[in-house]
């Protein structure tokens, strides 16, 4: 299985940009109606069967790209 390792840093970005990028990559829990309903929003890494290795590093199989 061929894979791509991606490494990135967000140290120069603003906090709201970091939050948006992390939500896009890793997904998040969405709460509605004051927490009565919980939805798991998938991130790109989960959609493409990737795996988080470390902070700022993840791996994605090439056949999914």
Residue-wise pLDDT tens digits, 27-54: 999 999 888 999 999 999 999 999 999 9
Categorize the per-residue pLDDT at 63 as very low, low, confident or very high, splitting at 50, 70 and 90.
confident
Distance, in Å, from the CA atom of 31 to the CA atom of 41, rounded to the nearest integer, reads 10
Cα separation values, 43 from 29, 50, 53, Å? 11, 10, 15
Residue 35 confidence (pLDDT): 82
Q: What pLDDT digit, counting tens, does each position of 6-22 carry?
A: 999 999 999 999 999 99
Cα separation values, 56 from 1, 24, 45, 64, Å? 22, 13, 12, 20
Q: Reply yes or no on whether the pLDDT at 65 is more than 70.
A: no
Distance, in Å, from the CA atom of 34 to the CA atom of 7, rounded to the nearest integer, reads 36
């Amino acid at each position: 299985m061929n894979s791509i390792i991606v490494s990135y840093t967000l140290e120069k970005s603003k906090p709201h940009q970091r939050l948006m990028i992390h939500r896009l990559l890793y997904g998040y829990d969405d709460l509605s109606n004051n927490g009565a309903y919980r939805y798991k929003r998938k991130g790109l890494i989960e959609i493409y069967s990737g795996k988080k290795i470390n902070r700022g590093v993840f791996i994605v199989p090439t056949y999914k790209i």
